[in-house]
Amino acid sequence: MCIRDRPLEELNVKNVRLLSGAGEAVDYRINPLPKQLGQKYKHLFPQIREAILELPVQESAQKLLDGINLVVQVGGKYYEIQPDEVEVHTSAREGLEVASDGPYLAALDIHLTQELIYEGLAREFIRRVQTLRKDSGLDIADRIRVHYSATPLLTEAVQASADIIKAETLAVELENLDEDGPWMTASDSFDSEQLTLRIQKAR
């Protein structure tokens, strides 16, 4: 199955698109190898090396990775440079994590917007509500009341995602407050946030 055909929820990403080229995700650096080229070209090596380094880096690196020879001109003559005579170094562009397998390359944008931070915290909140529901012996179809106390960022995330949290947990009430009664309680910490949950079956 092509990665574009897999559900985004399964990949835990917002969207998937094709790169216009590998250079969109990585920077290349090429390094002519002194041992191989020096033995082959002797006193011409410095000029050969300079000619290689003057080639367009991205295009040359891609050719080498594809097993295609480079051609350079020195002193009016043309020389073919083989892929095993030049090292290709790649580094991910800032804000990206990159993995490659042969001709395939995938890049993950790891920039975290405020919206993504809220969504991630809200998912963790939902998971802990559902765990407490299960541990308390409540049925998955039971409607519940949810009270909580949390650190400021987590509180903001819960408030921003309140409708989603209530829909996924079947909560008829989601409040940042406390009251007496037969509550099931749990406390936890994650992602530098603190959370105390209290739930009960809604009447």
Helices 114-135 and 152-160: crossing angle, nearest 10°?
A: 90
pLDDT score, position 112: 73
pLDDT score, position 96: 65
pLDDT score, position 61: 87
pLDDT score, position 3: 46
pLDDT score, position 19: 52
Query: What are the phi and psi torsion angles at 201 (to 5°)?
Result: -65, 135
Query: What are the phi and psi torsion angles at 202 (to 5°)?
Result: -75, 140
pLDDT score, position 29: 86
Alpha helices in 23-56, H assignment, sequence order: 34-41, 45-53
pLDDT score, position 1: 46
| Tokens 């083989």 found at | 82
pLDDT score, position 2: 47
Q: Which helix (H) or strand (E) holds 189?
A: strand 184-190
Half-sphere exposure of 28 (CA within 13 A, CB side): 21
- Give average pLDDT by consecutive 10-residue segment, the chain, 203 residues: 48 55 70 93 93 91 89 93 90 67 62 85 95 92 94 95 95 84 89 93 88
pLDDT score, position 107: 62
pLDDT score, position 15: 60
